[in-house]
Amino acid sequence: MLLYLLFGITVTIAAHQCPPCRTWIEHQLRNAHIPGLAAIVVNSSDILYEQDFGFHSPPGNVTYYTNVGAVWGALAIERISGLTFENYVRQGIIDPSGISTSDASYRLSSFTMRKIDLVDQYVYNVSLLSIYHQIIPQLNVVQATNSTDWLYIPHYSISVYPAAMLRMSARSLSIYLRLFLNNFSPDLLRNVSSMNEMLHVSRQEGSLDEPGVQYVGHRGWMPGVAHTMMVNEKRSLGIILLSNGDITWSDSLAKQASSTLTDITGQLFDCFEQ
């Protein structure tokens, strides 16, 4: 009992350190079965905090935005611009942002020389193997080597790629987030009114998980991937969490992983907003 109480006190104190204690975050990730995490906090000009945790997290993760509506938007862009959506994003966003061509791409083939930097995807629940084989056989999910608890998901792509699958490192993504905090530049955003459209609340982020808190941003997930990119209401601080956690099936493990990422986001905002 004494050891349990001492451990509980240690974790509680660590959670309120600023920045949050590395041991506390590692403990949270381990309990939620999230193998790896890249966490970055930025203001409008600098990276204030940058840490990687667990398995192979920092160099190149998968980030994305969701909803099939994005695919229709991409189709309109292609018709108007005469470019593929991939090239439009490259020429209109990635290159003007100063993000390296080797750090951001929709194509796995773009990372042929950097395969070691691509984060692997895992799912903690071997009982899901037959379900994956039945529902999504094209993912080629297998039991992880030397593990009785984990499934391994090889790198994959999807046909509606504008709605997902833009791969880049957390540090490269932070460049874009800092530009967002600064209302972008004329090279990136020619119509100022577009900024107001971006800030339009289409769904209340934070209203359920963090009552009384309003964030601007998005949480997204796919098999073996769970990410967060949020900005505080004043748009003075932004947080990126890129993880290879899994919240696909909405079971107790998924809820725990989602709650863990929410808790870490809240701790980082509480710390750096002071």
- HEC states along the chain? CHHHHHHHHHHHHHHCCCCCCHHHHHHHHHHCCCCEEEEEEECCCCEEEEEEEECCCCCEEEECCCCCHHHHHHHHHHHHHCCCHHHHHHHHHHCCCCCCCCCEECCHHHHHHHHHHECCEEEECHHHHHHHHHHCHHHCCEECCCCCCEEEECCCCCCCHHHCCEEECHHHHHHHHHHHHCCCCCCCCCCCHHHHHHCCCCCCCCCCCCCCCCCEEEEEEECCEEEEEEECCCCCCEEEEEECCCCCCCCHHHHHHHHHHHHHHHHHHHHHCC
* Bridge partners, 42 (sequence order): 47, 238
Question: Over 50: is that where the pLDDT of 5 sits?
Answer: no
> How many distinct structural domains can be found in the chain?
1
- Are 225 and 153 in contact, with CB atoms under 8 Å apart? no
11: domain CATH number?
A: 3.30.450
For residue 177, give its domain range. Answer: 2-65+167-272
Q: Answer whether residue 218 is part of any domain.
A: yes
Question: Over 80: is that where the pLDDT of 140 sits?
Answer: yes
Q: Answer whether residue 131 is part of any domain.
A: no
pLDDT value of position 157: 81
Q: What percent of the chain has pLDDT over 70?
A: 82
Question: Over 90: is that where the pLDDT of 117 sits?
Answer: no
Question: pLDDT for 42-71, tens place per residue?
Answer: 999 999 999 988 754 333 333 334 456 677
pLDDT value of position 8: 36
Question: Over 50: is that where the pLDDT of 11 sits?
Answer: no
Report how far apart, in Å, the C-alpha atoms of 88 and of each of 95, 110, 161, 254 are: 10, 16, 13, 35
What is the average pLDDT across 216-240? Answer: 90
Question: pLDDT for 168-212, tens place per residue?
Answer: 889 999 999 999 898 887 777 777 677 777 766 555 555 455 667
Question: Over 70: is that where the pLDDT of 20 sits?
Answer: yes
Question: Over 90: is that where the pLDDT of 39 sits?
Answer: yes
Q: Which segment, 47-56, 70-79, 146-155, is predicted with the most confidence on average?
A: 146-155
- Are 171 and 66 in contact, with CB atoms under 8 Å apart? no
Q: Answer whether residue 97 is part of any domain.
A: no
Q: Answer whether residue 144 is part of any domain.
A: no
pLDDT value of position 240: 97
pLDDT value of position 228: 94
If you average pLDDT over every residue of the chain, what do you get?
81
Q: What percent of the chain has pLDDT over 90?
A: 40
A 10 A CB-CB count for 168 gives 21
Report how far apart, in Å, the C-alpha atoms of 119 and of each of 95, 158, 201 are: 24, 17, 32
